[in-house]
Amino acid sequence: MSRLEAKKPSFCKSEPLTSERVRATLCVLKGILTSSYGPSGRLKQLHNGLGGCVCTTSQSSALLANLSVTHPILKILTTSMQNHVSCFSDCGLFTAILCCNLIENVQRIGLMPTTVIKLNKHLLSICTSYLQSEFCGCRILVDFSSTQTLLCLVRSIVTSKPACMLTRQEIDHISALILRAFLLTIPENTKDCLILGKSIIVPLKGQRVTDSTVLPGILLEISEVQLMKILPIKKSDTFKVALFCASLSGDLSDTGEGTVVVSSGVSLENAVLDQLLNLGRQLVSDHIDLVICQKVVHPSLKQFLSMHRMIAIDRVGAALMEPLSKVTGTQPIGSLGSISPSSYGSVKDLCTEKFGFKHFLHLIPNEATICSLLLCNRNDTAWDELKLTCQTALHVLQLTIKEPSVLLGGGCTETHLAAYIRHKICNEPESILQDDGCTQTELQLLTEAFCSALESVAGSLEHDGGEILTDMKYGHFWSAQPESPSAVDCPDLLSRCGCGLYTSQEELRWSFLKSTRHPFAPQTCLPHEAVGSANNLTLDCFTAKLSGLQVAVETANLILDLSYIIEDKN
């Protein structure tokens, strides 16, 4: 008996952005994001209210993944941010805040969406071509002959995640480890193309952060009972390895639907076990030293293997399979039938190690581009945050190898870029006016909206009520004590700019970021000696930031362009 229900009519809404409700929710979302931004950003406790685990974070990936938004406009926003984060790991909050700022500023000036979109695109292309140009004043080419720039980049990322709860020494330790882990994934001799290896993060919660370490090769966790059963490892040049992705637990895998009928006296379990033992005999005759299985190995098979002086490690999990196969040069074996000898691989050395309360079997490969980053932190929520941070940093390093430049961080790139655009539009507006057929006023209004959106992203770095200044020479970001109008005239109160490149010793003029000022030409072309001498710079990933800028402007354009929302209510 079926029941028919009349279809509900679709729900159509025009000019969605003008609704008060949408504005309010956008404002809340922006509030969550801006308050989390930067090294002194505030943390958010995310949990389901039903006793699930509590995640304390200020990272966009964790925040966006947990916010279940329903409004289509917010969905567009969060989806494109998540998409950016999944591709580039870094600059997620920057992208999201910039997008929110753009939408907010453009709404305020009330221009036609088509004009806005055209002009936004123009301004974006000015930004991207400037950032990629040789005379860009906020981009540094990475010098791979020293680790300094890369270390600064990693340290900036680690510092910007306060929920990791690291002290200064711990930040230095972890940053150095991340860089070492990354360097271990670079193959020593490459021909045409560089194929990077992988750093595996091994959890060791509850220990001191400074106990974290990096080891080449793979660590397989083993229980103490297992450790006892491993006989003293005999010395050998190489150890022959067989890697199984099929379960060797001895159960009947997938009997399908319906019923299997067997006659009495026949034991399927024993039949499977016999098959497993046959497999074991083949492994013995092939002189295997180490058997690794993704899933469970039957205790009887384990006993058989250990009697023949083989080490059997089971339940290594799917995540380790690819690195294991790479390190050992094995083909994961998926069946219990006969094994082709070509699927076996080898490792150079094996040893057992103990870290904290955990025992590990350490596989040392012949040619290593795989390393294990043993990561410790005091509590679970800080460990989770630290793991995310390490993954981000490792990803950023990979991106930096592809595109060997970094951008000045700490808000300096944003303010510098805003100053550059203001100056450019003020001095040579003709090119845009000709192309787009808009008026001079429209162009000025939108430029102001665009630049102040960029600047307020930089301003979001401040969470304790401080004033934000910018200097009139480089267009960099400076922070000053709240309620100190004298800061503009009194350089003593300012120490260094946001990225740390310039100090207040120079003869600089400052103005408040919020105040209106005359466009000036920020100094382009970073002098090499300035960059070389400055250590402890705050740096951002070039690729991630550039993409973030593009994603933010394009998403804002998309949202501004929406005139109807049609929802199917069925």
Partner 1 sequence: MVMACRVINKRRHVGLQQLSSFSGTGRTFLGPVKSSKFIVDEEHHESILISSVVRLLESLDLTSAVGQLLNEAVQTQNNTYKTGTSTLLFLVGAWSSAAEECLHLGVPISLIVSVMSEGLNSCIEEVVSLQVPIHNIFDHIDSTKTFSGLETCGVSLCPFLQIPSDTGLQKVHDLKDVASPSLTVYNLSGIPVRSPKLFRLQAEDEANKNTLQNPQTLKKSLLADSRCRKSILIHSRHFNRTDSNRWINKPEGFLEQHGAATPRTYRCNDLVELEMGLSHGDHNSMKLVDAAVRLQFQNASTQQGNCTIPFMFDISRIFTCCLPGVPETFSCVCPGYITVVSISNTTLIKELQNQPVQIILIEGDLTENYRHLGFNKAANINTLLESMKVQQDSSEEQWTDYVLQVLIKFNVTLVLVQGNVSEDLIEKCMHSKRLVIGSVNSSVMQAFAEASGAVQVAYITQVNENCVGSGVCVTFWRSIPSDVIDRINILTIMIKTEGINLVTVVLTSPLPAQMQAREDRFWTCAYRLYYALREQKVFLGGGAVEFLCLSHLQILAEQSLSKRNHVCSGWLHNTSSWLASSLALYRSTVLKCLANGWHKYLSALMYNTANCSSELGASTVIQQHLQSATDSGSPSSYILNEYNKLNSGIFNSGISNKLEQIPSVYDIVAPKTEAWRRALDLVLLVLQTDSEIITGLGHTQINSQETEAAKMDVFSLCLHVFPLYLCPNFLFL
Q: Which stretch binds partner 1 (CB under 8 A): 115-123, 246-254, 517-525, 546-554?
A: 246-254
Burial class (CB in 10 A: 0-12, 13-18, 19+), 172: middle
Judged by beta carbon, residue 299 or residue 532, the one nearer partner 1 is 299
Q: Per-residue x/- marks for partner 1, 340-379, CB under 8 A?
A: ----------------xx--------------------xx
User: Considering only residues 454-473, where is the footprint of partner 1 by CB under 8 A?
Assistant: 462-467
Judged by beta carbon, residue 198 or residue 378, the one nearer partner 1 is 378
Nearest distance from C-beta of residue 10 to partner 1, angstroms: 19
Judged by beta carbon, residue 450 or residue 477, the one nearer partner 1 is 477
Task: Count Cα atoms within 13 angstroms, Cβ side, for 388.
Answer: 25
Strand partners, 477: 470
User: Considering only residues 297-316, where is the footprint of partner 1 by CB under 8 A?
Assistant: 298-300, 303, 307, 314-315
Asked if 569 is part of the footprint of partner 1 (rule: CB under 8 A), the reply reads no
Whole-angstrom Cα distance, residue 154 to residue 390? Answer: 9
Judged by beta carbon, residue 372 or residue 538, the one nearer partner 1 is 538
User: Considering only residues 184-223, where is the footprint of partner 1 by CB under 8 A?
Assistant: 205-208
Asked if 249 is part of the footprint of partner 1 (rule: CB under 8 A), the reply reads yes
Rg (alpha carbons) of the chain, rounded to whole number: 29
Helix (H, G, I), strand (E, B) or coil at 48: coil
Nearest distance from C-beta of residue 236 to partner 1, angstroms: 24
Judged by beta carbon, residue 216 or residue 500, the one nearer partner 1 is 500
Asked if 232 is part of the footprint of partner 1 (rule: CB under 8 A), the reply reads no
- Give the 3-state secondary structure of 405-468: EEEECCCHHHHHHHHHHHHHHHHCCHHHHHHHCCCHHHHHHHHHHHHHHHHHHHHCCCCCCCEE
User: Considering only residues 510-539, where is the footprint of partner 1 by CB under 8 A?
Assistant: 536, 538
Judged by beta carbon, residue 327 or residue 458, the one nearer partner 1 is 458
Asked if 275 is part of the footprint of partner 1 (rule: CB under 8 A), the reply reads no
Q: Among residues 163, 339, 386, 488, which is the contact residue for partner 1, using CB under 8 A? A: 163
Asked if 268 is part of the footprint of partner 1 (rule: CB under 8 A), the reply reads yes
Long-range contacts of 526-531 (CB under 8 A, 24+ apart): 526/136, 526/137, 526/138, 526/139, 526/140, 530/501, 530/502, 531/140, 531/501
Angle among Cα 188, 189, 191 to the nearest 5 degrees reads: 145
Nearest distance from C-beta of residue 157 to partner 1, angstroms: 12
Judged by beta carbon, residue 426 or residue 493, the one nearer partner 1 is 493
Q: Are 187 and 217 in contact (CB under 8 A)?
A: no
* Residues belonging to the chain: 570
Judged by beta carbon, residue 115 or residue 247, the one nearer partner 1 is 247
Strand partners, 219: 362
Close Cβ partners of 193 (under 8 Å, ≥ 6 residues apart): none
User: Considering only residues 395-454, where is the footprint of partner 1 by CB under 8 A?
Assistant: 410
Q: Which stretch binds partner 1 (CB under 8 A): 2-10, 32-40, 80-88, 279-287?
A: 32-40
Q: Are 401 and 196 in contact (CB under 8 A)?
A: yes
Closest to 96 measured CA to CA, from 127, 48, 129, 64? 64
Q: Which stretch binds partner 1 (CB under 8 A): 117-125, 244-252, 322-330, 344-352?
A: 244-252
Q: Among residues 193, 261, 318, 566, which is the contact residue for partner 1, using CB under 8 A? A: 261
Asked if 161 is part of the footprint of partner 1 (rule: CB under 8 A), the reply reads no
Asked if 562 is part of the footprint of partner 1 (rule: CB under 8 A), the reply reads no
Whole-angstrom Cα distance, residue 453 to residue 467? Answer: 17
Other Cβ atoms less than 10 A from the Cβ of 21: the count is 9
